[in-house]
Structure 1
Amino acid sequence: MNEQQTEVIVVGAGPTGLLLAGDLAAAGVRVTVVEKRGAEISNLSRAFAVHARTLEVLDARGLAEDLFALGGRKLGELFLFGRAKVKLNVLDSRFPYVLMTPQYNVERVLRERAERAGVEFRFGCKVTGLDQTEGRATVRTDQGDLTAAYVVGTDGVRSAVRQAVGIDFPGEAVLRSMMLADVELDEPPADSPAVSGANGAFCFLADFGGGLWRVIGWNAADQQDDDAPVSSDEIRTALKLAFGTDFGMREPKWSSRFHSDERQATAYRAGNVFLAGDAAHCHSPAGGMGMNTGIQDAANLSWKLAAVLRGADPALLDTYAAERHPVGEAVLRASGRIIRVAANKSRVVGAVRGAVLGTALKLDPVQHKITGLISGIDVHYPHGHGEHRLTGARAADLALADGTRLYEALRGGRFVVLDSTFNDIAAADALATAAPDGTARVVRPDGYIGWAGPDDPAAIAAYLESHAGKR
């Protein structure tokens, strides 16, 4: 592809970059993905939890069923420290559970969609620098230069894009020498996932199906460098300390060691360069929110880039950081609290935390707050002065007058106008249908309400003109 034909360069082909690139290509934007890894999708991955809001994001692209077809377990409840129960099955969603499935299944579904949409991939391509001049950005790589109107760095914690544009990434390492492995268990726990901490260690166990269990473990008494190999005895010891048993663990299928950082980029944008996913924020694996937050970053940014490239108000791009930076910060805080409680070495804390947390989760407000945060369902973007209180809220799926669902209508990156008599719709990709109440609203392509109020065709037209652009 001639470099001048590329409109957006996405650096990084993980779940965040793949969803972003697929959205843009589906909207008619010419996209090139640069990835330093080879073309083969790795069968090793840290992420394993796909939460309700991410499943809604996939549903709005017709991909949820494709992911389900690859296998996994749907869990309506999570158990923490034996007694504490997080009830996901009460969520107001078509997906009131977390889907336990390896990250590579998510990548496979998103890669296939991006390829069908016409995304160009450059694998084995390493970024060496980045320049911005006259409203365009040039990515320097070991395979030559690429120039585009916009660049998005979805290239992970050590993001070359973030470093090239000089965005700070402050934070700290919360825990070192964390172990990760996939194992078979002869005597598996009754509940999955299972989390426990005791005697200066904590472990997380999750059933992947097919007889495999994901183990994340940490032992304060056995700290080693990240590049040190993980032995079976280390994992067994951590399990015995945390749970009192190793569950009859067999030899790991694979294992690795890592440290858990809490970091967030001070800005999500530098000129025409954006950051998303782990390049913008990283945190502990507690709660399984990392991959999900990145995918939702991409869903927020993709339609805005596409709209501006086809004539929408460029100020729309400023809302990306305004909406997503607070979400990243909240996830970082929440996962940090969970991991610190789990890793606390105090015998007193270890003895009471399950009971205390279990009691707290029996209170509806506490249960609602935790399930809403972990699942992503309760994310509400800020709205401006004078805007309707619904503006920025997640739009729940609902049945439409033509027999379809709202999230089916969103497919193709459309805006959906609910309860409007407005017929001469300014945006070719907007659909009009009926809402269940008297408040008209425009649902953005990412499934959030962009405008709400009395049925006002002129106001709806003005919103679509500034936010949708032209094809």
Structure 2
Amino acid sequence: MTSHSKIDVLICGAGAAGLTLAIELARRGIAFRLVEKMDSPFHGSRGKGIQPRTLEVFEDLGIVDRIIAAGGLYPAVREYRSDGSHTESEVVERAEPTPAEPYALPQMLPQYLTEAILRDRLCELGHAPEFGCELIDFSQGEAGVVARLRRHGNDEVVQARYLVGADGGRSSVRKTLGVDFPGKTLGVRAIVADVVLDGLSRDAWHRFNDGSMERQLAVCPLAGTALFQIQAPIPLEGEVDLSAAGLTAMLHDRSGRGDLLVKSVSWASAYQMNARLADRYRVQQVFLVGDAAHIHPPTGGQGLNTSIQDAYNLGWKLAAVLNGAEDALLDTYEQERRPVAAEVLGLSTQLLAAAKQGDMRRGRNVRQLDLGYADSVLALERPERLHGPYAGDRAPDAPMRGASGRPVRLFDLLKGTHWTLFGYEADRACVAARAGLRIHTVGEGAELVDEGGHFRAGYAVSAGEWVLVRPDGYIAAIVGTEQLGALEVFFQYAECGMPGA
């Protein structure tokens, strides 16, 4: 039996990227469906690091406190020597929050818990993934995408304006499009397993035989759970025993300790490490996000975060175009996100090379706070700035005081689906109110007082300058009052981005 339906967006894949995109569309009143061929949610730890920039995204989505409460910080690394002694070091370079960067350190949270929180948020917005629903095939035409779904043996034909492939590294959407996925297999095969384990404390990330790719072993307590994650390289060929008995044997062999016991296995996988980047992120009305567009080695905790931020970038743009903005806006998704993925792939590969030598240290370069879109057509400066932040950069936070005397965070003003315009010591009457745009003035006698100078320091602004921030928290433009007319194109996107516009 075949039924038919029409929607705006069909999302294939209900992992972190698909869920984030669904939340973004739900917030904007877009008609969509989120389908997942698996019968139930993924239940492994895989991507367990949540970087500071992603925490900022989660603040906007309304779930950052849930994420932090559910997880925890990375523990110190305890490296064991052959004589039984050990050393301890921090895997994450310590940093303190600043007014501009409220989240200084990555959080650890197993992927299945992150996705559960995203599903709860989506449910609050009135939507849910459709598990056990597989995309069988699709075609494109003038009206958009015609897709065939199969659920419980029944086929359904869905007509959508857009299709988004968030269906992982083996993406059927990417393969159907014929998009090449060049890159390389990195010559490393490894296992990852979530287990109940006796014999090791939960106060450290235990590592044995660092520097030996044949015998390395890492056992990390998974924050927010009673589980440990085992990671270990394995031979490129041959079967590997991922049962409790098999993993216990591996622990005994590589640690030299007979007191370690794997009591049960919650999830386990053996995989080849790859670095690959899709040639294209868009083919007509179909887009690729997350692992469907790029796959990374796990070093540095970049893959999950990059995937979430893909969806965060694409969501507001899809909504704006569906509400009347020019289709060319959607081309900026690939223009902005593909170079980021290329940079992150390079970083992950470099960190893998260091990890082979036992160097697990992680610094600012993994936190994704410095990634931006300086070369985007959506980045405007008039006149051109001599020092940052620049158009295309991440918008810094800043604590201020409202005219009523209450403390106000800039991130609280950005939260939501709107664009935001800040005028520093500027005349509010210079800009007319319009749908989808929030306008705030900063300065003595204005609605916001820059009491500690954090806004001026964070944005390096002078009197009479205006800063326009996109819905995804990046600076679209910095202009003087006399150049305000140049913002008109962005204001049109703001109006089109309004829910129900």
For 2:258 and 2:102, the matched residues in 1 are separated by: 36
Deviation at 1:371, TM superposition (A): 2.7
The TM-score normalised by the length of structure 1 is: 0.85
For 1:133 and 1:411, the matched residues in 2 are separated by: 36
Larger Rg: 2
Deviation at 1:384, TM superposition (A): 5.6
Alignment length (residue pairs): 444
Structure with more of its chain in strand, by fraction: 2
For 1:76 and 1:229, the matched residues in 2 are separated by: 28
Larger deviation: 204-213 or 125-134?
Answer: 204-213
For 1:445 and 1:235, the matched residues in 2 are separated by: 46
For 2:131 and 2:243, the matched residues in 1 are separated by: 32
For 1:251 and 1:230, the matched residues in 2 are separated by: 12
Deviation at 1:313, TM superposition (A): 2.8
Say whether the 8 Å CA contact 2:376–2:392 is kept in structure 1.
no
For 2:487 and 2:181, the matched residues in 1 are separated by: 39
Alignment match of 2:229 (pick from 188, 208, 214): 214
Say whether the 8 Å CA contact 2:76–2:89 is kept in structure 1.
no
Q: In the alignment, is residue 250 of structure 1 matched against residue 262 of structure 2?
A: yes
Counterpart of 2:373, as a letter, is Y
Alignment match of 1:447 (pick from 461, 470, 473): 473
Q: Quote the residue 1:460 is aligned against.
A: 487
Q: In the alignment, is residue 273 of structure 1 matched against residue 277 of structure 2?
A: no
Q: In the alignment, is residue 155 of structure 1 matched against residue 154 of structure 2?
A: no
For 1:289 and 1:46, the matched residues in 2 are separated by: 12
For 1:440 and 1:306, the matched residues in 2 are separated by: 25
Larger deviation: 53-62 or 331-340?
Answer: 331-340
Alignment of 1:225-264 (within 5 A): 225=239, 229-232=241-244, 235-236=247-248, 239=251, 248-259=260-271, 260-264=273-277
Say whether the 8 Å CA contact 1:11–1:33 is kept in structure 2.
yes
Counterpart of 1:308, as a letter, is V
Say whether the 8 Å CA contact 1:154–1:279 is kept in structure 2.
yes
Cα deviation digits, residues 308-330 of structure 1 (max 9, x gap): 11122322111111111111112
Q: In the alignment, is residue 224 of structure 1 matched against residue 238 of structure 2?
A: yes
Sequence identity, in percent? 30
Q: Quote the residue 2:25 is aligned against.
A: 24
Say whether the 8 Å CA contact 2:419–2:436 is kept in structure 1.
no
Say whether the 8 Å CA contact 1:76–1:88 is kept in structure 2.
no
SS across alignment from 1:416? strand
**Residues 446/79 of structure 1: CA separation in 2 closer, same or farther (3 Å cut):** farther
Q: In the alignment, is residue 372 of structure 1 matched against residue 364 of structure 2?
A: yes
Structure 1 unmatched runs, 5+: 344-349, 359-369
Alignment of 1:330-345 (within 5 A): 330-343=343-356
Structure 2 unmatched runs, 5+: 80-86, 443-454
**Residues 53/384 of structure 1: CA separation in 2 closer, same or farther (3 Å cut):** closer
Q: Quote the residue 2:83 is aligned against.
A: none
Say whether the 8 Å CA contact 1:184–1:212 is kept in structure 2.
yes
Counterpart of 1:248, as a letter, is L
Alignment match of 2:126 (pick from 118, 132, 157): 118
Alignment of 1:7-406 (within 5 A): 7-38=8-39, 40-69=40-69, 71-75=70-74, 85-90=91-96, 92=98, 93-119=101-127, 121-142=129-150, 143-174=155-186, 175-188=188-201, 191-192=204-205, 197-199=210-212, 200-209=214-223, 210-220=225-235, 223-225=237-239, 229-232=241-244, 235-236=247-248, 239=251, 248-259=260-271, 260-343=273-356, 350=357, 354=359, 371-383=363-375, 387=381, 388=384, 390-402=390-402, 403-406=407-410
For 2:78 and 2:337, the matched residues in 1 are separated by: 29
